[in-house]
Amino acid sequence: MKRLLNNKEQVQTRTRRVLFIAGPGTEILDLVGPLQVFVRAAEMFSRQNPGSPPIYSVEVITTSRQTSVVTNCGLRIAAHNTFRRVRGEIDTLLIAGGSAIENDEIGIEAVRWIKKMAGRVRRIGSVCTGAMLLARAGLLDGRQATTHWNWCALLAGKCPRADIDPDPIFIRDENVYTSAGVTAGMDLALALVEEDHGSRLALQVARNLVLYLRRPGGQSQFSAALSLQLTDRKPLRELESWVLDNLNKPLNVPVLAERVAMSPRNFARVFTKEMKTTPAKFVERLRVEAARRRLEESRNSLETIAGECGFGNVNSMRNVFQRALRIAPGQYRRHFRSMRHVQQRRKAKASSNK
């Protein structure tokens, strides 16, 4: 369906049906987190394009005979349907993790249904330990996959033919997607929205939900900002926001210590004890994370980004990137853009084949 925009532009959309599979004891954030991303994307797109069909319809289905399911926190939810009664075309099928999946308590009939549907849907994926159900259905054999870091060893033991990587936030292997623990499902959902409708809408949804569009780092480490929030010392927690707003300024120990009204010596000692890293390394991590986001989301020159993030010059930023990420800033940007171009070509090819 097409609708005229500004008498020139045309938007072509269709409704993609997204189904979430929930078993008994579902981890509630595995389910409602990514579900909300798709719902919010549909809401925002509809507001911006009145009259267009919704871009997503989202449903929850259960692995049992009942549509009611009790989540891991005790909250009972009413699903739209059970897997036995699902009819019609499905675009995306996502499996939320939970205790029944982790304990192999999902019936073989549901496992067989998932395996059958994998050949009919455009893409299939899992959030957190939902990967265990993909493994039972044989869908991870010969593929790269991930799950919550605490369950990676168990998943590797259950699925020896899969290449289990404990670090990524999510992994795509052809049309099979797996994500890390809990909130990583929202990262995956944002990536799927970006695949379908571009980075502009995905970024709008991320901002609306106060999320990273692409979370820096992997699950094997906390982001620098999150790790600072772990401290009980309020001045240190508040320091992070100030640092992010002043990355282009000198941020040595005396400057940071003055900000929190501590002597440089005491600040360095307390900070290192609380954060298990030095102030210099912490500031460097924040600068790298900020530079990565700018390289991905802006067209600013390397010189501009180096200045904005406090590296001083491109050579300094390059040295830090090589040490921290083992890749140069320019190469990082080219790699990111090449991945974006591949996704765009795939979408164009898929559209031309319809």
346 occurs within a structural domain = no
CATH number of the domain within which 169 lies:
3.40.50.880
Highest mean pLDDT among 16-25, 227-236, 294-303 belongs to 16-25
Residue 71 binned pLDDT confidence (cut-offs 50, 70, 90): very high
- Summarize the confidence of residues 90-113 as an average pLDDT: 97
**pLDDT at position 345:** 57
Is 52 in the same domain as 153?
yes
In a domain? residue 304: yes
Pair 133, 13 in one domain? yes
Q: What is the pLDDT of residue 222?
A: 34
Host domain of residue 120: 2-208
CATH number of domain containing 283: 1.10.10.60
What pLDDT, on a 0 to 100 scale, did the predictor assign at position 237?
67
Q: How confident is the model at residue 334 (pLDDT cuts 50, 70, 90)?
A: confident
Alpha carbon distance 23, 99 (integer Å): 8
- The reported pLDDT for the residue numbered 107 is 96
Is 244 found in the same domain as 332? yes
Same domain (yes/no): 189, 310 = no
Domain boundary among 158, 177, 208: 208
- Residues sharing a CB contact under 8 Å with residue 140, sequence separation 6 or more, in sequence order: 131, 134, 159, 161, 162, 176, 178
Count of domains in the chain? 2
- Over residues 23-45, the pLDDT tens digits come to 999 999 999 999 999 999 999 99
Does 130 score more than 80 pLDDT? Answer: yes
Look over the chain and give the mean of its residue pLDDT values, rounded to a whole number: 86
> Does residue 291 lie in a domain region?
yes
Instruction: Look at residue 48 in the predicted model and tell me its pLDDT.
Output: 95
| Residue 182 and residue 301 in one domain | no
Same domain flag for 42 and 155:
yes
| Percent of residues, the chain, with pLDDT higher than 70 | 84
pLDDT score of 16 more than 90: yes
Quote the pTM value: 0.64
Task: Report residue 254 as tokens.
Answer: 């005396």
155/347: higher pLDDT: 155
- Answer whether residue 118 shows pLDDT above 50: yes
351 domain-assigned: no
Number of neighbours of residue 150 by Cβ within 10 angstroms: 11
**pLDDT (mean) for 129-155:** 94
